[in-house]
Amino acid sequence: MSQARVLLLFIALLLAASAAQAQRQIEFADYQLPESGALAISVAKGLPDGGAFAELDARLEGALRRAANTAGFSGDRGVVLNLFGIGEFEQLIVIGTGVDPVDARLLEDVGGLVGQLGLLSAAPHLDLAWNIADIPAAGAHLAFGAELGQYTFRRYRSPAPDAPKLGQGSLRILGADPAASRKSWEDDWQHVASGVRFARDLVSEPANVIYPESFVERTREAFRGLDRVSIEVLDQAAMERLGMGSILAVGQGSARPPRLMLVRYRGAADDAEPLAFVGKGITFDTGGISIKGRDNLWRMKYDMSGAAVVTGAVLGLARRGAEVNAIAVAALAENMPSGSAGRPGDVIRTLSGKTYEVISTDAEGRMVLVDAITYVLQQDKPQVLVDIATLTGSQVTAVGDEYGGLFTRDESLATALQQAGMRSGEELWRLPLHPSYAKDLESPIADLRNGGSSGKAGAGVGAFFIGSWVPEGQAWAHLDIASMAWRDDAPLPTVPLGASGFGVRLIDRYVRELAQ
């Protein structure tokens, strides 16, 4: 395991032991290295002469370089030298940036590492100095990373009465043109961060708190007061009238009724075709009658990550006033076994009129998505449709926790989404939609089955099933984020352990680049 991963895992363990809900307030000021206090700086690989590292080392009479040499620290990207009580400084954090060219992602990673380390510091003020005039409003990207990195969810932990107050106070970013960075942060990037936080909070909440109806109420509260936003919610009776047999079939085993929610943000001309983002919102997934095993069943509260992400992404777009028409569609249901639950072998008629045979009630994500997709296509005629879901375990096996899975029939959309993934730090790997998957979905009594044989390409078959409800010629992509929605191995600079909010930054970046 790399030094960077060891450090981040250590941070995660310390945070798990603390119950305080820490959050540093972000401020901006002109670049000037302070004489004391708590300070974070960066340095390139090789610890070159020049810049903040060399300036501080000279001030400390060579003690900083000696400490780096003793620790084996050479400035590799993402590796941290964390020193206490050196010279007049209570704490001195040095972040390695490696040899990579400076870009927004590097800045966000630096900020994220400082944000995480700031949670463990009792210093009331922490400064982050960056004096390289390489990216306009660079401080806003440092702030964005710091805000993501310092995220915690410990709402239900009781604080120990004698626990130290860690991670409170301010994080001040010292750099060139602080006014420009402050404006970019306040007008733009803090709103994207709020969308990520909204998604992470929803996914982190237990399923006795977040279920279809309360998901809707949390969303109404988050969007309250925002201009050019409307929220449509279909309850069980409305879905029955429309013939949404698919989402109803998933929710019929639960005492908590399903909902279909559409959040429409209109930031462009009324006649501009919208972008539609449809999210799987299974607020808890037992597997239904095809019940799951007990191992890690608690985590199935995260099966509404797709719905949380698309809603959080549109929340960020609306708050920052993006010039786009965008729709978040949340297909919300709880998948429970009971006397009223659907069964394997049932035949379901969907909103589109197409039917399928249920092979597994644990293939419920695709079931709720197809009615949601049909509805938004009928009502809004979007230029682009992207669905996002924690759909299959086979996606986890295929690409692990480094990539979300991308399925699409549209080459230009594939390119745009992969580029947005690389630039946002939420990367995608394209997987096939092979025509042979149609054979796996053949049913002797209905138009399709909702799953193929075990041992087959489960992620691709699931994507193919969803795509069967999308007309040819419609720009559509399916994102399977089963491996990316929950981080439990080692944290990343901008992704602490737990709910990741994966997809909010990706969607935001895609919208930005589409606008450009």
Residues at the binding site for Mn(2+) are 280, 285, 303, 362, 364
What's the Rg (C-alpha) of the chain? 24
What single string gives the DSSP state of each residue in 92-116? EEEEE-TTSPP-HHHHHHHHHHHHH
DSSP 495: B
Active-site residue identified among 5, 59, 292, 354:
292
| Tokens found for residue 32 | 């000037």
Query: Judging by DSSP bridges, how do beta strands 325-335 and 275-285 pair with one another?
Result: parallel
Q: 77, 366, 423, 512: which one is catalytic? A: 366
Known binding-site residues equal 280, 285, 303, 362, 364
Cα-Cα-Cα-Cα dihedral of 435, 437, 443, 444, to 10°?
Answer: 60
Rounded distance between C-alpha atoms, residue 54 and residue 375, angstroms: 60
Q: Is 449 a catalytic residue?
A: no
Distances (CA, A) of 385 to 132, 272, 428, 472: 40, 14, 17, 12
User: By three-state DSSP, how is residue 411 classified?
Assistant: helix
Residues 6+ apart with CB under 8 A from 159: 19, 20
Return the number of other C-beta atoms located less than 10 Å from residue 27's C-beta. 16
For 107, the token pair is 């800045």
366 is catalytic: yes
Strands 89-96 and 37-43: parallel
Measured between alpha carbons, how far apart are the two ends of the chain, in Å?
40
Alpha-carbon span 125 to 6, nearest angstrom? 26
Q: What order of strands is seen across the sheet that includes strand 125-130?
A: 25-30, 170-175, 125-130, 37-43, 89-96, 80-86
List all residues 6 or more positions away from 504 whose beta carbon is below 8 Å from its beta carbon. 192, 195, 196, 199, 309, 312, 313, 316
For 147-180, letters b (16+ CB in 10 Å) and e give: bbbbbbbeeeeeeeeeeeebbbbebbbbbbbbeb
Annotated catalytic sites, by residue? 292, 366
